[in-house]
Amino acid sequence: MAGIRIIKENVDQKTFEALAEICPFDAFSYENAVLEVSSACKVCKLCIKNGPAGVLVLEEEQRVAIDKSLYRGITVYVDHIEGKIHPVTFELIGKARELAAVIDHPVYALFMGTNISEKADQLLSYGVDKVFVYDQPELKHFVIEPYANVLEDFIEKLKPSSILVGATNVGRSLAPRVAARCHTGLTADCTILEMKENTDLVQIRPAFGGNIMAQIVTQYSRPQFCTVRYKVFTAPELVKEPWGSVEIMAIGKDKLISAIEVLEVIKKEKGVDLSDAETIVAVGRGVKCEKDLEMIYQFAQKIGATVACTRPGIESGWFDARLQIGLSGRTVKPKLIIALGISGAVQFAAGMQNSEYIIAINNDSKAPIFNIAHCGMVGDLYEILPELLKMIDEPETEEAGKTLVMPEAIKAPERMVG
């Protein structure tokens, strides 16, 4: 880390007063004729740029350059339950193939568990160059110590350049522990991944409450770790003639010992899985009260959709937390999503912007949701939704020979976006 060194012989009371006036963090103190910088300092450099000359010196940390050529391959951690592979794994393989093509690296899959060797061939069909399998009885259940030891063993033997992990309960526990062991960086919940020609992985994710999109690069260490949510990327098409191979890996039994013993696995009752919904009606602040949800549920039922919400719906107690879309909720990629009364802040948009078709209804023509919507209606949802319900209920008659036409009151504010 960079730090500030003080040239003590050039310090006096006036110097301190000048620095104290400049520093926004009150990081300077002056006692017994000694000037000090506290841990409150954020190294913003304002004191160096605008402060008295000859008093402060910025000392940059000397970083040891790593030989990036020693690390090769993009690895995908295979997330599974009793051999049933989580779909996020296939999505990450698709992205890994894109990243690997930029730097001409192979794509690896790391598969650990019990009685999984026969299932490894399934991964080859997605274009993996090599599947490394740790098949041990001690890996039947996810226990952090042995799983972390296996991943660490794999890294020591193969030296992959990047490791992509699904942001599941297992992935969120495993990735940071091993990244810390390797003294390397980890970026959680990435929404975009790009590869530089020097093998640096550009990991992009919303930051500061979703107000900016941060680009994070691990320049000085390897491997590079990141986690990605389900439904952010797209799984690749199956290859007709897989070219990859499977390699069974060995690890010492001492690495599989754990102080944790799994006595019983109790499966939770499966609720609504929003991530797999093909049609979603999402509601935001534009819904005034809980009673008004009745109309929305009626509309969703008629079009075969699942009702979801943004954060205000959870805070009001109207919805189960599993039905929230966004950074602090679920990531979805349905065929159709209809956003009712949602402004479209980055927090929400990051969780649904990859939907195949987005329809937005909002009375604010400048709402950010219209920047990503394929079709937008500017108007009051309390006027538009009843008309849509009438259109759905109105039967077509051969005598009239007409199809349903959107009323002028609704049609007028309609606009195509994008």
Model confidence at 62: pLDDT above 90 = no
Q: In terms of pTM, does the model score above 0.95? A: no
Query: What's the pLDDT band for 36 if we cut at 50, 70, 90?
Result: very high
Model confidence at 411: pLDDT above 90 = no
Q: Are residues 76 and 224 in the same domain?
A: yes
Model confidence at 406: pLDDT above 70 = no
Query: Closest by alpha carbon to 71, among 35, 106, 20, 118?
Result: 106
348 or 75: which carries more pLDDT confidence? 75
Q: Are residues 89 and 195 in the same domain?
A: yes
261 located within any domain: no
Q: Are residues 22 and 95 in the same domain?
A: no
Q: Are residues 130 and 220 in the same domain?
A: yes
Q: Are residues 306 and 408 in the same domain?
A: yes
pLDDT in tens, 79-128: 999 889 999 999 999 999 999 999 999 999 999 999 999 999 999 999 99
Residue 105 sits in a domain of what CATH number? 3.40.50.620
For residues 375 and 217, what is the distance between their CA atoms, to the nearest angstrom?
A: 35
Q: Are residues 167 and 285 in the same domain?
A: no
Query: What's the pLDDT band for 403 if we cut at 50, 70, 90?
Result: very low
Q: Which of 25-39, 48-62, 172-186 has the lowest mean pLDDT?
A: 48-62
Q: Are residues 212 and 81 in the same domain?
A: yes
> Contact at 8 Å (CB) between 24 and 46?
yes
322 located within any domain: yes
DSSP 22-76: H-TT--EEEETTEEEE-TT-----HHHHHS-TTSEEEE---PPPP-GGG---EEE
Q: Are residues 40 and 141 in the same domain?
A: no
Residue 8 sits in a domain of what CATH number? 3.30.70.20
Mean pLDDT value of segment 337-345: 93
pLDDT in tens, 154-183: 999 999 999 999 999 999 999 999 999 999
Model confidence at 401: pLDDT above 60 = no
Q: Can you give 148-217 as a three-state secondary structure string?
A: HHHHHHHHHHHCCCEEEEECCHHHHHHHHHHHHHCCCCEEEEECEEEECCCCCEEEEEEECCCCEEEEEE
Mean pLDDT across the chain, nearest whole number? 90
Which residue among 256, 287, 322 closes a domain? 256
375 or 328: which carries more pLDDT confidence? 375
Domain, as residue range, for 377: 274-416
